[in-house]
Structure 1
Amino acid sequence: MFKKILFATSGSPASDDAARVAFDLAGRYGAALELLHVTGVPTRAYSQVVKDVRTGEEVSVDENYLSCIGDELKSYYEKQLAACAAPCTVSIVTGYPHREILRQARGTGADLIIMGASTKGEEGKFYRRGMAGSTLQRVAKAARCPVLSVHRPHASYWGGIGSIVFATDFSKPAESAFAFASKVARELDAELHLFHTLDIEKGGMGRDMDQDEIEGRLIEARKRMYATYGARMPEGFKKWQVEVWEGTPYVEIVKFARERLADLIVLAHHASDPDLEAARIGSTMEQVILRANCPVVSVNHPDKI
């Protein structure tokens, strides 16, 4: 399933939950795992002085500094590296985090990027702001492969992928997300739950829908789900089902995933913007990342599906 996984880490407790998922996936499914740490941002063009992303201090970059950072990272993940059955490497680079993550993913041919929703380790802060970290935003927008994020420290991923929720709004980008979700479900023999939320606030075009209209639209949406995705299900794969609820999309997705004991939620990176390179991560995706109690995969490009 996964052959090369890139785990972007700050080497701090803020990345611990993403690390748990990264090491488990690599070891469980035999994928090569690369731990990538971006030490800091150059203070000026062609300068060897960078601002350390962890301390905020300006430091001079040389081989000794990079070697020390590498040793620190290996020491921090010593137990995980020793226990992981898959091949693991550690890379230390300097630059803007999102650029270096994308550069490394392209260079190594990674088919999955794993990272935390933020590097600050302040979950409450991001709930108040209602947004994911800027590095995740930029990586998810431009990555050619799916991006898996883990935000909540009590994420219920305890190893392996046995239940997957694919949430769709029937948009064009959702087709790539479905291709990824169905492929993972088939190859890992996991249950696949196809889920759609009837947005009752937008669906009524500014007016309140009565219950009969809501019920009618739910039936129509369920038929559309079978027609859109049923025929495209991998051959011989039977472990899938369709569900349609009404409400606020991100709230219902999180509730549904919790009810189905999901190990993974898969969504399209955005819904409406036709420009893949410019599209900002959608508000539903963002809120699901911040609130879900399991890892969330953002799919933007179909390249590595």
Structure 2
Amino acid sequence: MFNRILAATDSVTTPDAPVVTAARLARQHHARLYLLHVMESASTENRRWIRHYETGMEMIAGTEYEQTVGRVLRRTYRDSISGEEAAVRVTAGFPWEGILHWAREIDADLIVLGPHSTRAMEKGVVRIAGLVGSTVENVVIRETCPVMVVNHPANTQQLRFERVLIPVDFSRSCECAVCFAARLAANCHSQLQVFHMIPVLPVPKYSRSAYTRDKAGALKRLESLYRPYLDGLDHRYIVRAGSLPHLEILNAVRDQNSDLIVMGSHTKETGGKWYPGSAVERVGFRAACPLVAITDPQVLIHWKGRLADTVQKEADRKIHVSTDADALPPSTP
């Protein structure tokens, strides 16, 4: 399934969640792990003008320093990686550029990142609640490989992916997410939890009859669009009404005890680039379990199968708001 997993970290001396999780995942799937540290510079003229990882002293990073940092990284993660299990690379530049360059060089089939810098205070970066950070955003925008966002180290049990939640809004990228999750489930024997939120306007009343009607319509659309991928797999559809997708998704993850979230990157494409979208960013920033962001059909290049040929080319992909003009989700739908 996974053969080459790339994990990037900006922490040299302290283990962080993405690398620990990537190492466990690589071990479970007998994959090769590639550990990357990109040395950032505040200089626009010389990207090798950096601060020493330990003393904070400004210096020019040479080959000897890169080798030293590489050895320190191996010591830092000695409980997670050992021997020939992982390749370690230290380089200078913009983190997202370094990640993309190595991912394409090794033909990675999964990239594992943290939602924001672990050294934000040190670098003078202000963390903005709900945003996954510029590195994740720039990688998702430009990379077709699946990108996993990890807040907390995932344990071995969680990485079996027994329960996978896929939030969908009927967009093309969400269809790619369902296809990816289906291939994952075929390998991991996962239960797939396909989740859809009926957007409800923030006005005084949303009747139960309206909710029942909207839910029936949503279930029909889910079955019609995703059945080609889910036939023969353990799956269920979950429909709720709400106005804030990221909160409803996080509530569903908690209620369903999900081990993994798989999300399409966004509902639209602009200028050939796919953007993470607010739901992906807000869920990725808060989720207790890993989240995999899927961009476009090219993400499936390493997987058997593509988007189902049986799906109608003109499928209804509009996000349908509630049919009731006065709408708020019922307290117990």
TM over 0.5: same fold? yes
Question: 1:12 deviation in Å?
Answer: 4.8
In the other structure, the counterpart of 1:78 is: 78
Q: Distance between the aligned counterparts of 2:170 and 2:278, measured in 1? A: 16
Report Cα offsets for 1:249-274 as digits up to 9, x if no partner. 11111111112221110001111334
CA contact (8 A) 2:164 2:262 kept: yes
Query: 2:198 maps to what in 1?
Result: 198
CA distance in 2, matches of 1:137, 1:94: 19
Query: In structure 2, what is the equivalent of residue 6 of structure 1?
Result: 6
- Aligned to 1:2, what secondary structure does the other structure show? coil
1:298 is the counterpart of 2:297: no
1:148-194: per-residue Cα shift (whole Å, max 9, x none)? 01124689974422111111000111121111111111111111111
User: Which residue is equivalent to 2:221?
Assistant: 224
> Could you tell me which residue of structure 1 aligns to residue 308 of structure 2?
none
Alignment partner of 1:88 out of 79, 86, 89:
86
Q: Is the 8 A contact 2:163 2:190 kept in 1?
A: yes
Specify whether residues 117 and 179 from structure 1 end up closer, same or farther in structure 2 by C-alpha distance, changes over 3 A only. same
Query: Which of residues 235, 240, 245 in structure 2 aligns to 1:240?
Result: 235
More displaced stretch, 260-269 vs 16-25:
16-25
How far apart, CA to CA, are the structure 2 residues paired with 1:95 and 1:141?
18
Larger Rg: 2
Match of 1:249 in 2: 245
Give the alignment of 1:57-206 within 5 angstroms.
Answer: 57-82=57-82, 87-120=85-118, 126=127, 129-152=129-152, 158-201=158-201
2:269 to 265, 269, 273: 273
The total of aligned residue pairs comes to 294
Structure 2 residue 279 is matched with structure 1 residue 284:
yes
Tell me, in whole angstroms, the C-alpha distance in 2 between the residues paired with 1:122 and 1:240.
40
Report deviation, 1:241: 1.1
- Please list the CA deviations of residues 94-123 of structure 1 after superposition, one character each: whole Å capped at 9, or x if unmatched: 111011101111111001000110113679
SS in 1 for 2:298: coil
Q: Aligned to 2:79, what secondary structure does the other structure show?
A: helix
- 1:5–1:33 CA contact under 8 A, matched in 2: yes
Structure 2 portions without partners, runs of 5+? 301-333
Q: Does the CA-based 8 Å contact 2:19-2:35 persist in structure 1?
A: no
Which runs of no fewer than 5 residues in structure 1 stay unpaired? none
Counterpart residue identity of residue 62, structure 2: D
1:53-91 deviation line (CA, Å, top 9, x unaligned) = 967753212111111111111111111113x9x831111
Cα separation, partners in 2 of 1:119 and 1:14, compared to 1, 3 Å: farther
CA RMSD of aligned residues (A): 2.7
Q: Report the alpha carbon displacement of residue 15 of structure 1 after superposing the two structures with TM.
A: 5.8
SS in 1 for 2:181: helix
Alpha-carbon separation, structure 2, partners of 1:111 and 1:58: 36
Deviation at 1:32, TM superposition (A): 0.8
When residues 211 and 263 of structure 1 are mapped into structure 2, their CA distance, relative to the original with a 3 A threshold, is same
Counterpart Cα distance in 1 of 2:94 and 2:195: 36
Supply the AA of the counterpart residue of 2:262: V
Q: Report the secondary structure of 1:212's partner residue.
A: helix
Percent identity at matched positions? 27
- Stretch deviating more after TM superposition (4-13 or 183-192): 4-13
14-23 or 93-102, which moves further after superposition? Answer: 14-23
CA contact (8 A) 2:111 2:147 kept: yes
**Maintained 8 Å contact 1:42/1:49:** no
Amino acid corresponding to residue 35 of structure 1 in structure 2: L
Give the structure 1 partner of residue 33 of structure 2.
33
Contact 1:157 1:295 in 2 (8 A): no
Residues 301 and 93 (structure 1), Cα distance of their counterparts in 2 relative to 1, 3 Å cut: farther
Q: CA deviation at 1:224?
A: 0.6
Which whole-Å CA distance do the structure 1 matches of 2:180 and 2:233 have between them?
16
- Give TM-score scaled by structure 2 length: 0.80
Residue identity in the other structure for 2:103: A
TM-score of the superposed pair, with normalisation by structure 1 = 0.87
Structure with the largest fraction of helix? 1
Summarize the Cα distance change of 1:35–1:97 in structure 2 as closer, same or farther, 3 Å threshold: same
C-alpha distance in structure 1 between counterparts of 2:15 and 2:281, whole Å: 18
Residue 50 of structure 1 aligns with which residue? Answer: 49
- CA shift in 2, pair 1:90/1:15, >3 Å: same
Q: CA–CA distance in 1 between the matches of 2:51 and 2:264?
A: 33
